[in-house]
Amino acid sequence: MGKVRAVGFTVGILFLALALLAAGAEVVASLQAGSWQPRILGQVWYDLDRGSLNLMQAVVQRYLHPAIWNPGMVALLQWPAWLVALIPAAVFLLLFRPRRSVRRRSFSR
């Protein structure tokens, strides 16, 4: 396995672990509340570090384009956190999956 493939596969595994952790946190919160409690990405990010969320909004709107933040990022921030991590996990794991070695058999007698 090449180095690029190994790094890409490892990144995919890390995203998958993050997705599983986020899904687990959603299940635990739902069990504690007694009803389904989705953990959306925006709320998780806000709970972890609201300053960086506000900074990201300002940077995107000021230096890139306001339309990237609203409606683009705002829509993404309303998705379940586990789904936002699962999508890149699937992409990385599919693109950088280990290749099976093909053995060529010689049928000469």
Q: How many residues does the chain have?
A: 109
Amino acid letter for position 108: S
Q: CA-CA distance, 11 to 24, in Å (whole number)?
A: 20
Please name the residues in contact with 29: beta carbons below 8 A apart, sequence gap of 6 or more.
37, 39
The burial class, CB within 10 Å (0-12 / 13-18 / 19+), for 11 is: middle
In which band, very low, low, confident or very high, does the pLDDT at 16 lie, cut at 50, 70 and 90? very high
In which band, very low, low, confident or very high, does the pLDDT at 100 lie, cut at 50, 70 and 90? confident
Please name the residues in contact with 51: beta carbons below 8 A apart, sequence gap of 6 or more.
none
Give the pTM. Answer: 0.81
pLDDT of residue 106: 64
